[in-house]
């Protein structure tokens, strides 16, 4: 589409401190003009009255399962899910089969996304260690040259602290982002859910908050000792929030993410013994849920990601044997609008900042803004519309949505990528 004009829409562009009712023109894949009123002809004109137009969301924690596990999801279907959730840029994690630990695998992902016209911009997090085994460092320079912008062993921590420090140093030198899965594997062996009152009542093995907190403390200590940046993935505990808050006050170069489900649900969902509520880290207790909301509001948590982790229906069928993980790209914006609505917070600009601007800044990618001349990547949503999450209507291969059957507030109506409408409700 050569040009697209959105009229009478609330434009929220936190990067430019803009929040006003007006028009926005996308032309030749770029933002051409923003104003209170634009008189221009366009191939398509959308009346955005009652809607919000914001920079497309950036999800910096996504599992696309491609290569090797494409019965769960693949690059194209994962991007279809992204588009349905307003996500225009995503970072895919390396725990594929084989792991993303060679330049050839990085190139495969980038090429497939480009050649098959994926409905989101796909960025690659390469493995920090070979095979994600935690003991032998990958060649990050070669992986960066192939196109990777970040590194992680997500799914597991970088087990050998020497490899962690090496990755910290090399990522800083190469301009890559190190995203850390924080978990003490000795404390986290053979669990099915959060360790607490619910796990005790159900007599189900649990993982203590200490497993995450000890991992978070190690990563912060390493980053502080070398004065290098680190990003903490999927924060779920009150203790990790406190550690990150304290580290930021001390000037440690740490950023952090959490996911909507940790602020909407608790481990009480596990009474259902439904494996769709199992993920790593697990749903925690009420005090953790409220601590995470506080951490979002005070800036301890920098951004919202989903840890979108598709699994097949068959894999999720047996509670005790199921792999961890849930999907969330299609529900992330609505989930966070609902979190904010539940506490009476109407600051959509702050929310878009966390879901678009900040992750783009952390990753160093060209996204997160509706500045004139920027990529025409945008999400248009109704902030008031309520809807129920029906897994049968989701756009990826897998249906293991942790927010299934919930009534959420806020509905994506259009997603625009490079000036083209890639999703329309």
Each residue of 362-391: pLDDT tens digit?
Answer: 999 999 999 999 999 999 999 999 999 999
Coil vs helix vs strand at 5:
strand
Work out the pLDDT band at 116, boundaries 50, 70, 90: very high
C-alpha span between 141 and 124 (Å, rounded): 14
Q: With a cut of 90, say whether residue 270 has pLDDT above it.
A: yes
Domain ranges of the chain: 57-368
Start-end of H helices in 299-372: 332-342, 348-352, 358-363
pLDDT at position 71, please? 98
54-104 per-position pLDDT tens digit: 999 999 999 999 999 999 999 999 999 999 999 999 999 999 999 999 999
Helix extents (H) in 133-208: 140-146, 161-174, 197-202
Give the pLDDT of residue 363: 98
At 1, the pLDDT band (50, 70, 90 cuts) reads confident
Question: What does the pLDDT look like over 242-262, one tens digit per residue?
Answer: 999 999 999 999 999 999 999
Residue numbers annotated as active site: 307
Mean pLDDT of 9-20: 98
**Does residue 402 contact residue 265 with C-beta atoms inside 8 Å?**
yes
DSSP letter at 91 equals E
The pLDDT score that the predictor gives to residue 79 is 98
Query: What value does the mean pLDDT of the chain take?
Result: 98
pTM score: 0.98
What's residue 393's pLDDT? 97
Element (H, E) at 186: none
pLDDT-based confidence at 309, cuts 50/70/90? very high
Q: CB-based burial of residue 392 (10 Å sphere; 0-12 exposed, 13-18 middle, 19+ buried)?
A: exposed
- Report the side by side order of strands in the sheet with 303-304: 57-62, 87-92, 121-127, 150-152, 177-180, 230-232, 254-258, 303-304
Tokens of 189: 């062996």
Smallest Cα–Cα separation from 12: which of 48, 39, 40, 42?
Answer: 48
Closest CA to 367 of 80, 71, 23, 91: 91
Q: Which pLDDT belongs to residue 418? A: 98
Which pLDDT belongs to residue 293?
A: 98
pLDDT of the residue at 282: 98
Rounded mean pLDDT, 179-196 = 97
Tokens 């806020």 locate to: 410
pLDDT of 395 above 90: yes
Distance CA 398, CA 406 (A): 18
The set of residues, in sequence order, having a beta carbon less than 8 Å from that of 397 and lying 6+ positions away, is: 71, 72, 73, 74, 77, 310, 312
Tell me: pLDDT of 208 over 90: yes
Could you read off the pLDDT of 227-247 as tens digits, one per residue? Answer: 999 999 999 999 999 999 999
pLDDT at 281: 98
The DSSP code for 256 is: E
Percent of the chain with pLDDT over 90: 99
Residue 307: which of 234, 394, 405, 385 has the closest Cα?
Answer: 234
Query: Whole-angstrom Cα distance, residue 190 to residue 183?
Result: 13
Residues 347, 355: Cα–Cα separation, whole Å: 13
pLDDT value, residue 316: 98
CATH superfamily of 57-368: Metal-dependent hydrolases (3.20.20.140)
């Amino acid at each position: 589409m050569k040009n697209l004009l959105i009229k009478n829409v609330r434009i929220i562009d936190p990067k430019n401190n803009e929040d006003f009712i007006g028009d926005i023109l996308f032309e030749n894949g770029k933002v051409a003009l923003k104003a209170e009123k634009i008189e221009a002809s366009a191939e398509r004109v959308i009346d955005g009255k009652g809607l919000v137009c914001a920079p497309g969301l950036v999800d910096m924690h996504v599992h696309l399962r491609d290569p090797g596990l494409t019965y769960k999801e693949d690059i194209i279907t994962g991007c279809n899910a992204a588009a349905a959730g307003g996500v225009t840029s995503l970072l895919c994690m390396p725990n594929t089969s084989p792991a993303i630990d060679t330049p050839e695998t990085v190139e495969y992902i980038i090429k497939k996304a480009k050649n098959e016209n994926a409905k989101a911009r796909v960025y690659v997090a390469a493995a920090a260690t070979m095979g994600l085994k935690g003991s032998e460092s990958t060649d990050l320079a070669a992986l960066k040259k192939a196109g990777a912008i970040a590194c992680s062993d997500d799914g597991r921590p970088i087990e050998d602290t020497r490899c962690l420090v090496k990755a910290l140093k090399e990522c800083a030198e190469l301009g890559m982002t190190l995203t850390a899965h924080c978990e003490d594997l000795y404390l986290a062996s053979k669990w099915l859910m959060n360790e607490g009152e619910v796990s005790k009542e159900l007599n189900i093995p649990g993982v203590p908050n200490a497993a995450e907190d000890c991992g978070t403390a190690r990563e912060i200590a390493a980053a502080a000792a070398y004065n290098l940046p680190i990003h903490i993935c999927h924060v779920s505990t009150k203790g990790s929030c406190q550690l990150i808050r304290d580290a930021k006050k001390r000037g440690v170069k740490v950023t952090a993410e959490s996911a909507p489900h940790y602020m909407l649900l608790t481990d009480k969902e596990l009474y259902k013994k439904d494996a769709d509520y199992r993920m790593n880290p697990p749903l925690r207790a009420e005090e953790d849920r409220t601590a995470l909301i506080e951490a979002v509001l005070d800036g301890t948590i920098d951004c919202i990601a989903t840890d979108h982790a598709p699994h097949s229906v068959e894999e999720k069928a047996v509670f005790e044997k199921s792999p961890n993980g849930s999907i969330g790209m299609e529900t992330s914006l609505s989930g966070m609008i609902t979190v904010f609505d539940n506490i009476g917070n109407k600051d959509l600009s702050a929310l878009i900042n966390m879901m678009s601007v900040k992750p783009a800044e952390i990753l160093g990618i060209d996204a997160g803004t509706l500045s004139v001349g920027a990529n025409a990547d945008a999400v248009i949503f109704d902030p008031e519309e309520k809807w129920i999450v029906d897994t049968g209507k989701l756009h990826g291969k897998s249906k293991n949505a942790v927010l299934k059957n919930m009534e959420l507030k806020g509905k994506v109506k259009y997603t625009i990528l490079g000036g083209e409408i890639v999703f329309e409700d």
